[in-house]
Structure 1
């Protein structure tokens, strides 16, 4: 029993550190989707993330982002709620369930499943960086995580190249 409590404490502390670390300024550097149409320019799932903010030990996560439609940037905030196993749920362009897959001090990858109003499920990868740039290792990570979700490499959009929103 004592060993279990120690393991639970260690994982709990690790989780708190991770939750604290993801709050801050982030930029979307790449998005991948099994339905590439959903993340094209002028589509609402092409989110240019600007900030992540954890609340209540990251049981709630605000995602502050810009969406550019018809040349107009709109700042939006959605609040995800932890539904267990490190998965957050929010509602934006349907229902989203997302999980942090990889984290370093300057790079994050989220896996997201979006189910739109018509019931269509889209599997997505959002890669975020502290800067609007990628190095070769991060690009390989994006390709690997996309491939692990059966998202073809040609469906990766390197959106930091087209991000003109404030």
Structure 2
């Protein structure tokens, strides 16, 4: 019985690693933020650190590190930022940026990335964020529906959704 249980655990771990590997293979490259949502609308307002214009993602699979390159705007000026994340248990990417973040890719295709982030800022406040990014700013209706569905699942009010396509004038790397 113990051998059977151990075998099931091993299969589950291998399957999780395979899905992580498949996601990580599709993650590197150029990205553009399409939509953002947050339960705390202040985190996505003008000049906020989470109104991020994603540009590039790199992956170091052997070290389980992910590098995010993006811009934020401060008083209309694009400020470039880079952060490194570490892939942890259950494929959660841990990132230190404006507090601590647990970033989870929910859906990835060659052209679309749908993810959520749980940020705990320096004051201990928790914010749930959802991001839809694409290789271009063009996105299909199914991906937008998946984004809206995840926003509802994370209990984020629909009015806290921001479309960044028209405001993205930051440099392309």
User: If you compute each CA radius of gyration, which structure gives the higher value, 1 or 2?
Assistant: 2
Match of 1:68 among 69, 73, 93: 73
CA RMSD in angstroms, aligned pairs only: 1.8
Correspondence list, 1:153-164, <5 A: 153-164=158-169
Residue 13 of structure 1 corresponds to 18
Gaps of 5+ in 2: none
**CA positional deviation for 1:85:** 0.6
The answer on whether the counterparts of 2:20 and 2:91 sit within 8 Å (CA) in structure 1 is no
Question: CA, structure 1 residues 72+21, in 2 after alignment: closer, same or farther (shift >3 Å)?
Answer: same
Aligned counterparts of 2:11 and 2:99: Cα–Cα separation in 1: 40
Question: CA, structure 1 residues 50+58, in 2 after alignment: closer, same or farther (shift >3 Å)?
Answer: farther
The answer on whether the counterparts of 1:20 and 1:58 sit within 8 Å (CA) in structure 2 is no
Gaps of 5+ in 1: none
SS at match of 1:85: helix
Question: CA, structure 1 residues 115+135, in 2 after alignment: closer, same or farther (shift >3 Å)?
Answer: same
The answer on whether the counterparts of 2:102 and 2:117 sit within 8 Å (CA) in structure 1 is yes
Aligned counterparts of 1:10 and 1:93: Cα–Cα separation in 2: 33
* TM-score w.r.t. length of structure 1: 0.91
Match of 1:132 among 125, 133, 137: 137
Match of 1:80 among 57, 77, 85: 85
Does structure 1 residue 28 correspond to structure 2 residue 33?
yes
Runs of 4+ in structure 1 displaced over 6 angstroms?
none
Aligned counterparts of 1:155 and 1:67: Cα–Cα separation in 2: 18
Question: CA, structure 1 residues 7+115, in 2 after alignment: closer, same or farther (shift >3 Å)?
Answer: closer
* TM-score w.r.t. length of structure 2: 0.88
Question: CA, structure 1 residues 71+44, in 2 after alignment: closer, same or farther (shift >3 Å)?
Answer: same
